[in-house]
């Protein structure tokens, strides 16, 4: 697939090969037999070629559409990734446990100190281009996949939690107790750090969206848009070129993959 990408010229977005290629890379599914030649498409085929940086996954959050009191995205994330498997252990302190349970996405409600304007938004891993969590990880377990997804390789994570110290978004959680009954698609266990991975299993099986974005759309808000930030023709890129958006903590120059409008 590496060779395919070289054959495609960035300045010519109308090249049909490139369109097809991007469709393939986007995981809409394809089998590549020879470089540059795409033969067939089958829905939801598992990925067989390494992910490339031709794609950069990201989210656009339209805070104007994010409803006060709605937490459909959070519930959907918990179901999708098996976060609802965690139960407060016996003898634990309620308030402390609330701070120890794993959270990948959360709702935040803000008020401007000067104007009093209220904003609602979901917060999750911002999938930085230059992630501080990756820089600090001693074993390299915290890493950025070629397609822009920042995630943890649990096989090498030693649970030192330095990435949690370094994350400016408080996006990561440490698994504080043993877990049982894991979902096949989302392996998780005690003693490692984890965070939003943009539903990476969905990416690899060629599904279109993330659980949170689907749930938000289903609830009729449509505040979360998932897509490929590297593709000028993608819906998310078109939307981003039309509306003003910001990154949280722009001052750190991390070039986040999650953008917010209306903050």
Partner 1 sequence: MKRIIYREWRIPPTRYWSLLGILAVVIGIGALAFAHMEHAGHWVTGMSNSVVWGMPHVFAVFLIISASGALNIASIGTVFRKPIYKPLGRLSGLLAAGLLMGGLLVLVLDLGRPERLVVAMTTYNFRSIFAWNIFLYSGFMAIVIAYLWSMADRKGEPFSRPIGVLATAWRLALTTGTGAIFGFIVARQAFDAAILAPMFVVMSFAYGLAIFMLVLMFGFAADARPIGDRLMRRLKNLLGIFILGVLYFTLVYFLTKVYGAKNHDLVGWFLLDGGLYTFLFWVVWVLIGALVPLGIIYHPVLSQERSWIIGACTLVIIGGLATMYVIIIGSQAYPLQMFPGQTVLESGFYDGVQGMPSPYAPTIPEILLGLGGVGVAMLVVAVGVRVLQFLPESLADEVLPPDEEKLTDGVTARSAA
Partner 2 sequence: MATAAVRWSLVAVGLAWALVAQVVLAADARTYVLAGSKAATLASCVEPTDVMRRQHMQFIKHQRDETVHSGIRSSKHSLAGCVDCHVREEVSAGLVPIHHREEFCGACHAYTAVNMNCFDCHASVPNGPGAELAARAAHQAAGVHVTGEARPDGENH
Q: Please check whether residue 65 is in contact with residue 222, taking contact to mean a CB–CB distance below 8 angstroms.
A: yes
Residue 15 within binding range of partner 2, rule CB under 8 A:
no
Euclidean distance between the first and the last CA atom of the chain, given in angstroms as a whole number = 39
Instruction: Please identify, using beta-carbon distances, which residue of 97 and 143 lies nearer to partner 2.
Output: 143
d(CA 190, CA 183): 15
Q: What x/- string results for residues 224 through 253 when contact with partner 1 is judged by CB under 8 A?
A: ------------------------xx--x-
Q: What x/- string results for residues 43 through 72 when contact with partner 2 is judged by CB under 8 A?
A: -xxxxxxxx---------------------
With CB under 5 to 8 Å by kind, the binding choice for 241 among partner 1, partner 2, none is none
Angle (CA) 182 156 207, round 5°: 50
> In 10 A of CB 7, how many CB atoms?
12
Minimum CB separation from partner 1 for residue 187, in Å? 14
d(CA 224, CA 250): 20
d(CA 179, CA 186): 12
Minimum CB separation from partner 2 for residue 27, in Å? 8
d(CA 199, CA 63): 21
Q: What x/- string results for residues 94 through 133 when contact with partner 1 is judged by CB under 8 A?
A: -xxxxxxxxx--xxxxxxxxx---xx---x--------x-
Q: Where on the chain is the footprint of partner 1 (CB under 8 A)? A: 71, 74, 89, 92, 95-103, 106-114, 118-119, 123, 132, 134-140, 156-162, 164-170, 172-178, 190-193, 248-249, 252, 263
């Amino acid at each position: 697939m590496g060779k395919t990408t070289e054959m495609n010229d960035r300045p010519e977005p109308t090249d049909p090969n490139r369109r097809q290629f991007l469709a393939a890379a986007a995981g809409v599914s394809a089998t590549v037999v020879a470089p540059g030649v795409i033969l067939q498409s089958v829905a939801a085929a598992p990925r067989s070629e390494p992910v490339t940086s031709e794609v950069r996954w990201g989210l656009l959050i339209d805070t104007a559409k994010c409803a006060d009191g709605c937490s459909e995205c959070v519930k959907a994330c918990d179901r999708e990734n098996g976060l609802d498997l965690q139960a407060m252990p016996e003898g634990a302190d309620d308030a402390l446990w609330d701070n120890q349970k794993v959270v990948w996405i959360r709702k935040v409600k803000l008020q401007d100190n000067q104007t009093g304007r209220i904003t609602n938004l979901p917060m999750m891993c911002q999938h930085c281009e230059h992630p501080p969590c990756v820089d600090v990880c001693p074993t390299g377990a915290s890493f950025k996949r070629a397609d822009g997804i920042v995630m943890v390789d649990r096989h090498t994570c030693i649970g030192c939690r330095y990435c949690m110290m370094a994350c400016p978004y408080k996006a990561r959680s440490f698994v504080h107790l043993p877990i049982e009954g894991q979902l096949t698609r989302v392996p998780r266990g005690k003693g490692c750090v984890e965070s939003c991975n943009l539903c990476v299993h969905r990416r690899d099986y060629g599904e279109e969206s993330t659980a949170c974005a689907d749930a938000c759309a289903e609830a009729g808000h449509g505040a979360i848009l998932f897509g490929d930030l590297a593709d000028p023709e993608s819906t998310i890129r078109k939307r981003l070129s039309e509306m003003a958006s910001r990154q949280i903590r722009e001052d750190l120059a991390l070039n986040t993959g999650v953008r917010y409008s209306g903050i």
